[in-house]
């Protein structure tokens, strides 16, 4: 078999897997939206069947032979060619999938299923001791997973690679050190500012049917294609890209808290724009897949925060918002509203945190994950370590584990290494936005937003991020799009400038 024939067969198999996985994604979407409760048993069987079939196809030894036949050939000599990128990423996935012993995969599935149930109960009852043995098992198995996959500098990197290939612990440590050094004093200065946002104006009566119309209009304005997507309601919002022409987002409406659904929709729309603008011709191969979790998150945070919490955005949307919710916003001006959606104050819960304090929540989790994985921190000592570091970073005492180390689901499902991608998303978002401003003109871009026009920014993101799929790793994508390696500085400058205006004390 020639390398060209081997590559063609690899692409054929990869695309077949893409179709198979999109079937599973469609079933998963249905499960979370419209499936009747009685369908749960059958759905479980359908999903397990598809997952086993996909695993079997992907780990077929023939795939390894095909990869070996292409690697080292002229086809992949140019590291930026289609073939080189596809082969590089297929190799990474194949190695990861085949290095893990079947027994470990099954054990992880069993242990994390039980751990998630235990976590839910423990969180409700503020009962860390009942979760502790489960988490000990999860951490032990994740160590085994890392050892089976292999790593060079730090065991954590083997886990991180599942979400953020190529990013190292050393890079993350440096990013988080730079962030916490500036964020901790920034948050204190804002707390000391006499300017206090009035959050209550967001907590009035916002009828859900009108919220829905308003959020959909904003999604369309920033570029969501409803002919190739849907917006539905679920208890846990998500975005699911089935493939070309079909990307579905969900949200959750709170009749007495406007930001929840609105910024949730902008967030998921950011994810959806990425999915809707991946190159369709590469569907099913790595070139048709988003770069990394962090880069995906950068697209959601960019539209939610960089654009959606900015003044030019609300210069356009606030008058329309007042027309839509005349009772709730009677007597409220644009300044008060803009300040309210940029309320900064340390709080206990990560998912409710504002832009400034959010990354401190992640810095804490990253530190603790590293220590748990290396054995420097025993699971039994987790609540104490959490509470101590939380107080140091956010200046608040933690009243109970429910609002402390039990608040997130991630560790119970084995998602160690996942949290840093949220902060990477914030940092990539700020750096990409700064580059877009430089390329398109900061003033004219702001003028676009004031007119409710976002197409130039969207097109810039398509050209610099979306259309590349996995051609480059995240670090390289960032260098090409922005001209520099990822740094916390654009994010810190963005916050400093924004809050200097809003709080007049930074």
CB of 33 to Zn ion, least distance (A): 18
228 burial (CB, 10 Å; 0-12 / 13-18 / 19+) is middle
Of the two residues 264 and 383, which places its CB atom closer to Zn ion in the complex? 264
Q: How many CB atoms lie within 10 A of CB 248?
A: 23
User: By the 8 A CB rule, do 234 and 378 touch?
Assistant: no
Dig out the tokens for 442 from the structure. Answer: 């900061």
CB of 241 to Zn ion, least distance (A): 13
Residue range at the interface with Zn ion (CB under 5 A); choices 22-30, 42-50, 201-209, 297-305: 297-305
Sheet holding 239-243, edge to edge: 229-233, 246-251, 239-243
Dig out the tokens for 234 from the structure. Answer: 């679920």
Q: Which residues pair with 230 in a beta bridge?
A: 248
Residue range at the interface with Zn ion (CB under 5 A); choices 69-77, 100-108, 300-308, 412-420: 300-308
Residues contacting residue 218 through CB under 8 Å, at least 6 positions apart:
262, 265, 266, 269, 308, 317
Residue range at the interface with Zn ion (CB under 5 A); choices 244-252, 294-302, 445-453, 470-478: 294-302
Q: Which residues pair with 86 in a beta bridge?
A: none
Of the two residues 58 and 262, which places its CB atom closer to Zn ion in the complex? 262
CB of 410 to Zn ion, least distance (A): 13
Residue range at the interface with Zn ion (CB under 5 A); choices 41-49, 51-59, 299-307, 469-477: 299-307
DSSP string, 135-194: HHHHHHHHHHHHHHH--SS-HHHHHHTTTSTT--HHHHHHHHHHHHHHHHHHHHHHHHSS
Candidate list 86, 276, 277, 300; residue touching Zn ion; CB under 5 A:
300
CB of 23 to Zn ion, least distance (A): 23
Of the two residues 180 and 426, which places its CB atom closer to Zn ion in the complex? 426
Of the two residues 134 and 296, which places its CB atom closer to Zn ion in the complex? 296
Dig out the tokens for 136 from the structure. Answer: 């000990």
Is 80 considered catalytic here?
A: no
How far apart, in whole angstroms, are the C-alpha atoms of residue 187 and residue 355?
Answer: 10
The conformation of residue 72, written as its DSSP 8-state character, comes to T
Of the two residues 11 and 433, which places its CB atom closer to Zn ion in the complex? 433
Q: Using CB atoms, what's the residue nearest to Zn ion?
A: 300
157 burial (CB, 10 Å; 0-12 / 13-18 / 19+) is buried
Of the two residues 294 and 488, which places its CB atom closer to Zn ion in the complex? 294
Q: Where are the alpha helices (DSSP H) in 302-441?
A: 311-324, 334-340, 355-374, 382-394, 420-440
Residue range at the interface with Zn ion (CB under 5 A); choices 48-56, 126-134, 293-301, 474-482: 293-301
Site for Zn ion in 248-287 (CB under 5 A): none
Of the two residues 421 and 431, which places its CB atom closer to Zn ion in the complex? 421
Report how many residues bind Zn ion under the rule CB under 5 A.
1
Site for Zn ion in 59-78 (CB under 5 A): none
Of the two residues 241 and 284, which places its CB atom closer to Zn ion in the complex? 241
CB of 316 to Zn ion, least distance (A): 24
CB of 267 to Zn ion, least distance (A): 6
Residues contacting residue 96 through CB under 8 Å, at least 6 positions apart:
149, 161, 162
Of the two residues 7 and 422, which places its CB atom closer to Zn ion in the complex? 422
CB of 297 to Zn ion, least distance (A): 5
Residue with tokens 């695309």: 15
* Phi, psi angles (nearest 5°) of residue 284: 95, -15
Parallel/antiparallel/unpaired status of strands 246-251 and 239-243:
antiparallel
Which residue among 268, 275, 355, 367 is the active-site one? Answer: 268
Rg (CA), the chain: 23
Site for Zn ion in 433-452 (CB under 5 A): none
Residue range at the interface with Zn ion (CB under 5 A); choices 127-135, 172-180, 292-300, 447-455: 292-300
> Residue 420: CA atoms inside 13 Å, Cβ hemisphere, count?
29
CB of 242 to Zn ion, least distance (A): 17
CB of 290 to Zn ion, least distance (A): 12
CA of 68: how far to CAs of 64, 149, 184, 473, in Å?
Answer: 6, 19, 50, 21
Catalytic residues: 268
Note the residues at the interface with Zn ion (CB under 5 A): 300
């Amino acid at each position: 078999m020639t390398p060209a024939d081997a590559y063609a067969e690899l692409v054929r198999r990869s695309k077949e897997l893409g179709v198979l996985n999109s079937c599973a994604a469609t079933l998963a979407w249905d499960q979370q939206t419209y499936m009747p409760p009685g369908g749960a048993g059958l759905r479980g069987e359908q999903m397990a069947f598809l997952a086993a079939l996909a695993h079997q196809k992907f780990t077929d030894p023939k795939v390894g032979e095909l990869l070996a036949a292409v690697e080292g050939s002229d086809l992949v000599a140019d590291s930026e060619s289609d073939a080189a990128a596809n082969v590089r990423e297929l190799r990474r996935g194949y190695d990861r999938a085949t290095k893990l012993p079947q027994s470990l995969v099954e054990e992880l599935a069993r242990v994390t299923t039980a751990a998630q149930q235990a976590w839910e109960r423990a969180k409700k009852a503020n009962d860390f001791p009942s979760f502790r043995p489960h988490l000990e098992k999860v951490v032990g198995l994740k160590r085994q997973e890392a050892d089976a996959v292999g790593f060079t500098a730090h065991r954590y990197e083997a886990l991180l690679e599942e979400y953020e290939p190529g990013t190292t612990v050393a890079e993350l440590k440096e990013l988080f050190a730079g962030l916490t050094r500036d964020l901790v004093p920034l948050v204190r200065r804002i707390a000391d500012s006499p300017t206090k946002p009035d959050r209550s104006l967001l907590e009035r009566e916002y009828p859900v049917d009108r919220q829905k119309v308003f959020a959909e209009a904003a999604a369309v304005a920033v570029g969501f294609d409803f002919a190739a997507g849907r917006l539905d309601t679920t208890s846990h919002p998500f975005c699911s890209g089935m493939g070309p022409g079909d990307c579905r987002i969900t949200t959750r409406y709170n009749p007495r808290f406007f930001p929840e659904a609105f910024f949730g929709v902008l967030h998921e729309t950011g994810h959806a724009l990425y999915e809707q603008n991946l190159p369709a011709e590469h569907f099913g191969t790595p070139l048709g897949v988003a770069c990394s979790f962090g880069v995906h998150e950068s697209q959601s945070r960019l539209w939610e925060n960089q654009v959606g919490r900015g003044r030019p955005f609300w210069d356009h949307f606030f008058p329309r918002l007042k027309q839509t919710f005349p009772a709730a916003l009677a007597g409220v001006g644009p300044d008060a509203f803009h300040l309210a959606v940029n309320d900064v104050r340390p709080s206990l819960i990560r998912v409710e945190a504002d832009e400034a304090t959010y990354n401190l929540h992640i810095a804490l989790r990253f530190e603790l994950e590293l220590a748990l994985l290396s054995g420097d921190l025993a699971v039994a000592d987790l609540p104490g370590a959490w509470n101590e570091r939380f107080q140091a970073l956010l200046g608040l005492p933690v009243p109970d584990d429910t609002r402390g180390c039990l608040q997130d689901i991630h560790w119970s499902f084995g998602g160690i290494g996942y949290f840093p991608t949220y902060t990477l998303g914030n940092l990539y978002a700020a750096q990409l936005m700064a580059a877009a401003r430089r390329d398109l003109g900061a003033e004219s871009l702001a003028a676009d937003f004031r007119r409710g026009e976002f197409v130039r920014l969207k097109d810039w993101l398509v050209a610099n991020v979306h259309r590349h799929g996995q051609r480059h790793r995240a670090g390289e994508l960032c260098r090409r799009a922005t001209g520099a390696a990822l740094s916390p500085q654009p994010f810190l400058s963005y916050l400093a400038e924004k809050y200097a205006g809003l709080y007049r004390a930074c």
